[in-house]
Structure 1
Amino acid sequence: MLPRIRFLMSSRCFGLQRRIQVDDSVVYRLNLLLVNRFNGFSSWSVSSDLPDWFKYAGDQGANDSNDDFFVLPGDDGKLGGRIGRLRVFGNETDSRTTLQSGLDDYVEKISRVLRRNLDSHEATVRDLDGCGIDISKELVDRVLKRFSNDWKSALSFFRWVGSQRNYSHDADSYNAMVDILGKMKQFDEMWDLVEEMNQQSGFISLVTMSKIMRRYAGVRKWRRAVDAFNEMERFGLKKDTAAMNVLLDTLCKERRVERAREVFLELKSKIQPDAHTFNILIHGWCKAQRLDEAEWTMEEMGRHGFRPCVVSYTSIVEEYCRMKNFQKVDSLLDEMQAKGCPPNVVTYTIVMHALGKAKETDSALQIFERMKRNGCSPDTSFFNSLLYIMGRAGRQEDARRVLDEMINSGNSPNITTYNTLISIACLHSQEEYAIKLLQTMERSSCKPDLQTYAPLLKLFCWRKWMKVLAYLIHDMHEKDISLDLGTYTLLIRGLCGVKKLTHACLFFEEMVLKGHVPKYRTYQLLMEELDKNGMWKKKEIIQQWMAQAEGKKKLGCSRVQGI
């Protein structure tokens, strides 16, 4: 059992009184607030400090007569909204009282223009020209982040900015745009941009080529990833050890370790490998469940003058964890200690997480004690994993103690900590606690991301609290969090479940306009619901949108094959 850590606060929930010395740092006070929130995990009573839209959400239900509240973010145009600028927390009537109000206003203006003109670059240029916007690097970064899953809008904005006389894109902005196009499988446009970068001295770097290789490998275009590596010299880049390692790592992470091995054998006479090269291959063989090849690569590593290190052993340990062969894992940990290559916090985190997934929670806790005995200090990632295990197992008291020890050992909660706690709260239907955690994130330096909102959206779809869902979507919009295919799918299915079919159709339309190809199951579900409710015209429109999405997908595939 974990030790009880004392802290300065009264915990009504557990009837405990604890004390420590408190410093004046903002982070520490936020951490204490987080502990305070966590102590309320097991009780559900609506607190006065929660926003009104949440406190009374349960009274609305799925049959709210006001059908106007659930709309897409933007203006009052084609995909516009009626809610306007909202804040999930704080003063909802005036959210522009921060130092960034001017930048926020510009981002909102640009967003409205881009959403209004999804199919027309000319209209976008005309409207942006009339906005009176002061362009800055921070503004460009914000907009590209907000539209990172909407390549058309991102590229349209990027081109408009590039045409302005008083501003020039830097290499970072180009790389961000290259990554967006690669993620959305727009490889023709991606290469056009790379050629444009090539006209600017020093703009193309290993970072650029890494993004290209990884995006090709991510859609199983492994030959194209290798071709991109071979193109590096044309752009003035060296095909050195670092570049080779990026290619090998890209192939191994996409489970093409055999191809990575072939590339290595082809290149090793021209490019000197390093220890990292072999560790990449060892990890790749382990991911492919080829332990014999992984162990042979460790021997080859020694023949090249590199001693297997904790990274090498950890890959082997991870594969035995996947196999749930924890007896072998235990002997490997002892072997590492005996060979003067002791397990590090990453090794212990992997083992502990595997034990938790195998529902061996007590054994996971024993790993924590073993790690401390061996002089290895846990880090934030380790505590996050342990919190996840305790929360999933329903051991809330142990999870609270883990959080206590995490904070008092000097490990400040990060975004993964909050995301883990929010996920656990949603799993146990602790709506109030999940929203309070989101409030705490708002006040801290940890800014929410898409993973923060995913369990919340899922929970409130299930609860049929559509106003809360609407406010969360608008909050995501204001935080420049771009909806991806998975989020659109979740929302459409949730809206179908509560018969908000008009709004489900709007999300379907926006998803296609942003270049996503809807999953067939999602399309089929929406079509069935429209058919059941006699919405024939809507059904015909959705059919047209699906045909458009599939047509663009086929066109994109044919273009990629020709590259």
Structure 2
Amino acid sequence: MAGKNPSSSNGRSLLGIPQIDSNQKSALVPSKTLPDYSSQMPSFSKSQPFPSHLDVPNLSPRVKAICEILAKCPAPELESVLSSSGVPPLPEYVEEVLKLSYGFPAAAVKFFRWAGLTAKYTPYSWNLMVDLLGKNSLFEAMWDAIRTMKQENVLSIATFVSVFGSYCMAGKIKEAIMSFDVMDRYGITQDVVAVNFLLSAICREGQTVTALEFFERIKAKINPDADSFAILLEGWEKEGNVAKAKHTFGEMVIRVGWNSKNVSAYDAFLTTLVRGSQAEEAIKFLKVMKGKDCLPGMKFFSNALDILIKQNEYTHAFSLWEIMVGSGLVPTLIMYNAMIALLCNNGDMVSAYRLLDEMVLNGSFPDSLTYNMIFQCVVKNRKVREAASFFTEMTKNEFLPTDSNAAGAIKMFFDGDDPETAIEVWDYMIKNNASPNEESSNALLIGLCDSDRLSDVRRFAEEMLDRGIDLRSATMEKLKIVFSKAGKKESYHRIERRWKSR
């Protein structure tokens, strides 16, 4: 154990902690605790700086004043300045100040010592001090505080949760486990709750193999519960260890059985399989889970679909979707759109249309993206009649094709001998979109030229120029050739003069 052995005691109180060098700080910050103790310690990630009173809005003026003293006052003068500040060391002030003093451990200890001269520490303030010292790797002082807490009878499991987290964040996994081993000497029960907190702290640092070693040693003495296995499975998910995940999952089923409430374990296990390119295996397990009424949650389905769709795993994604919907889970609009995109990319328009119809029944109303994905696919596959019918439905629901989709549709309708629908597409775009539709406009003129509808070419070209739509040089060259062949060069020159003067 770094510092003094936690099982030893020299009777010193925290007030007798040796002075701490103000430069003796590390980049470590408080980690998140499990939900049951989220209120016991501040929660910060490793990437965040230490908390500061400057970051807290609506902070009490008295707490702010103390924080500023701790941040600016020279160490030798600190206690006298605090005493003359006129701010009483009320328990609520002490707690708030400690939460904001992780970046100033030396000053925090002096403040804590000063506050204890005239007021009784609360258990929460003691836990905050232990956490502050631990997160700054001041482990000897941390254990001095713990021994005093034992004497004051204010120790709790929350204290050791902090110790586990501090040691693990410092890379001292062995010391964290030793802290668990001496808990009972401090009057704290070594139960499955404590086991789970330690497992969580170890796994959070990417040391799930070490967590498993501790688990294997302790499970004969303390029966693990569903949470124990869920924590390990989440660790394997984070580390992508499929083989270990399968082993842990199998043991979980044997020891604690199937439980519909153990969603996090099922989520983690199945996600590990999918990310490990074992989607087929995940589908098999998923079917077994469905039969046991122990399905994972929407978190898994959303993540798994995202992974499979990015991999264009059409068959597995579709199987996953069918199980999800068949189990009564309602997909979100984002999930519907992602799945429809996959179906369209794989040419399964029947299923894409079915999902479009089902969306409304499930309360997920299609948006512009939904319609444009299907419209793009129909156009790409040159299904002229189907595209015309879908365009009618699309506009009936007041959804506008993208300019690129409109341009592709216009070209396809001209190629498919349906110029009227092509013109209808452009008219709808102009009517409902204030911005110039350059791509679709040029496509319309090219199509009209190829159809020898020169009167329409003149009319639409004039309208496009009136609207400030840019006619491309290639389009103008096409017009020049067509009008010249028809002996109508003057009509072209009129358009050209306006085009050049724009």
Compute the TM-score of the two structures, normalised by the length of structure 2.
0.48
- Greater relative CO, 1 or 2 (CA 8 Å, sep 6+): 1
TM-score between both structures, scaled by the size of structure 1:
0.44
